[in-house]
Amino acid sequence: MDPVVFTLLRSGLEQIVDEMTLTMVRTAYSGNIREAMDFSAAICDGNGDMVAQGPGLAVHLGSIPAAMQAVQARFGDEIGSGDVYMLNDPYCGGMHLPDIFLFKPLLGEDGTIAWLVIVADHVDVGGSTMGSRSVLSREVYAEGIRIPPVRLQRHGEDVQDIWSLLRYNTRLPHMVLGDLRSCLSAFHSAEQLFRGVLAEHGESEVRRYFSDVMDYTESMLRSCIRAFPDGHFRFTDWLDDSVTGPDPVKIEIALEVRGDALFFDFAGSSGQVNASINSTLAFTRSSVYAAVRTLLPPKAPNNAGLFRPIHVQAPAGTIVNAVEPAAVAQRGVTGSRVVDATLGVLAQVAPDQVPAASEGGISSVRIAGRDEHGNAFVIWDSVVGTWGARPDRDGIDGCSNFAMNVANASVEIIESEYPVRIHRYGLRPDSGGAGRFRGGLGLVREWELLDGEATFVMRADRTRSAPWGLQGGQPGARSRNVFTSGGQSNELGSKFELHLTRGDRLLHEQASGGGHGNPLERDPQLVFHDWQNEKISSQHALSAYGVLIDDGKLDLAETRRTREARVGHKGDDG
């Protein structure tokens, strides 16, 4: 189509999804949506293929196709104007139960023109643990209310039975129902903007744009893949354990590059486990899509065209393709490891484009209890995160990795609204993997319960298997958890549930990003700059990079001699 019209339509639709995002942030009740932005917005065409997305979670957006198919299969010809559909069932197009999908069809003269889509992480949907994110649940039935595709609104009116069912199955109905109203408000503003686009360009032109923009993204990715060598490649990464047992859990990928397509096979991965870290195949695919997206230019359109050259398969009953009724509440950590493993295998075909491993996924924290008046509270306070080093620059410190893209919760808001004090929050010095480009620093966070009792749920990883580096870059630091109660401190694993009483503390040191390239090739001035900003110590500068900082000054002459000696020593060792 005409490139000017193409650009205008692309900008118009991106404005719509941005407006949906802003409406959610301004109107949501819960902190995990309002501040951490744990939600995603998108527009799909009449067939349910995503054509535009907002600044949400990459691992959410790639899951939309399965959810759309479930809604269309259930309602088919019954889809009506003013309807809003919802689902969260992981085994019917969803991801995990707190992630509730909402869909609103926009109808035109020739049927459904588009769908507005929001998927948001809700603060509590019932289940055995307040916050609905137990790491110990063994079946999906214990994790909350399962919602198959149903109508939340019909012809613009609430389906009261569904709202009542939700109200009676969450401990925080004012927040959950309020956040659903926020989604409906976002739909309303987006629909008004979309009708304006239709009035300006016409239905046929908008439909043609939908087709063209997906073809455009597909063409970009296929062109990128054609530059790769054909062949078979493998990579293996690990989760610390299965939660209920000490053995590590394997994520193994076999990649075949064939012409302009990528074929990923997870056949060597571990079986599903008796805990909640299992991933559905839809979520695994979404994680692969997120990693492959890094191969495209940042300004490339994000839509379903990206999915077409990518083929993902995994045996049923594995950690990456769990079958019902496996528990999946904490599947995010497995998705993060799928992202890392996908990057690891892609680094073999595109070494100059792929970053090193990130922190291994956000450290998901839920602190839930009841206040002095008996009212329930749930704190969403995940520790977010860091990037692995990239081929041409350092990893980003204290920022969610690209696949998750959520924000850290505000210390001030947590301390003002809940009986919790944050004693420590900051970057973890010396943690970034050494390399020509340094891995991002992990974060440190420490919580204390000030009053009453609460349940503390931690889902982290990388206490055993460090985030790997590339091209000679060193691994990032591993994570660490220390629980202090009654004056006694004990180091814990990466996934656990604790009962807290007044004065108990939990210190979390997050894993960091892997390095990229030989550390002895890092610019000494960059090392010195990191030291000046207290990101590394002088001891680490010398041991990791061979850079001498003496009395607050960079000694270039001694740095040169130290590095030459280390290179020579390696040569003598063969």
Rg (C-alpha) for the chain, rounded Å, is 24
The SS3 assignment for 93 reads coil
78, 72 in Cβ contact below 8 A?
A: no
Banded pLDDT at 571 (limits 50, 70, 90): low
The whole-number pLDDT of residue 1 equals 84
The whole-number pLDDT of residue 59 equals 81
**Which of 269, 425, 268, 400 is closest to 332 using CA atoms?**
400
Kindly give, in sequence order, each residue whose CB lies less than 8 Å from that of residue 86, ignoring residues fewer than 6 positions away.
100, 101, 102, 103, 147, 149, 150, 151, 152, 162
Token pair 């590059």 in the structure block, residue: 257
Which ranges of 436-534 does DSSP label H, i.e. alpha helix?
Answer: 524-532
The whole-number pLDDT of residue 570 equals 62
Lowest mean pLDDT among 289-298, 332-341, 563-572: 563-572
The whole-number pLDDT of residue 452 equals 85
Banded pLDDT at 574 (limits 50, 70, 90): very low
Q: In angstroms, rounded to a whole number, what is the distance separating the alpha carbons of residues 198 and 201?
A: 5
Residue 14 has pLDDT above 60, yes or no: yes
Residue 334 has pLDDT above 80, yes or no: yes
Lowest mean pLDDT among 116-120, 190-194, 257-261, 565-569: 565-569
Question: In 401-560, at which residue ranges do the beta strands (DSSP E only) sit?
Answer: 420-427, 443-449, 453-459, 480-485, 488-492, 495-501, 505-509, 548-550, 553-555
Q: What is the DSSP string of 226-242?
A: HTSPPEEEEEEEEES--
Banded pLDDT at 62 (limits 50, 70, 90): confident
Token pair 């990518």 in the structure block, residue: 310
**How many CB atoms neighbour CB 140 within 10 A?**
23
90, 101 in Cβ contact below 8 A?
A: no
Q: What is the DSSP letter of 246?
A: S
Mean pLDDT along residues 154-178: 96
**Which of 410, 395, 571 is closest to 467 using CA atoms?**
395
Residue 400 has pLDDT above 60, yes or no: yes
413, 493 in Cβ contact below 8 A?
A: no
Mean pLDDT along residues 280-296: 94
CA atoms within 13 A on the CB side of 438: 25
The SS3 assignment for 179 reads helix
Residue 12 has pLDDT above 60, yes or no: yes
The string of pLDDT tens digits covering residues 423-443 is 999 999 999 999 999 999 999
CA atoms within 13 A on the CB side of 26: 10
Q: In angstroms, rounded to a whole number, what is the distance separating the alpha carbons of residues 283 and 88?
A: 13
The whole-number pLDDT of residue 365 equals 94
**Which of 126, 96, 145, 94 is closest to 331 using CA atoms?**
96
The string of pLDDT tens digits covering residues 450-495 is 988 999 999 999 999 999 999 999 999 999 999 999 999 999 999 9
Q: Give the CA-trace dihedral at 205, 62, 360, 96, to 10 degrees.
A: 140
The string of pLDDT tens digits covering residues 180-226 is 999 999 999 999 999 999 999 999 999 999 999 999 999 999 999 99
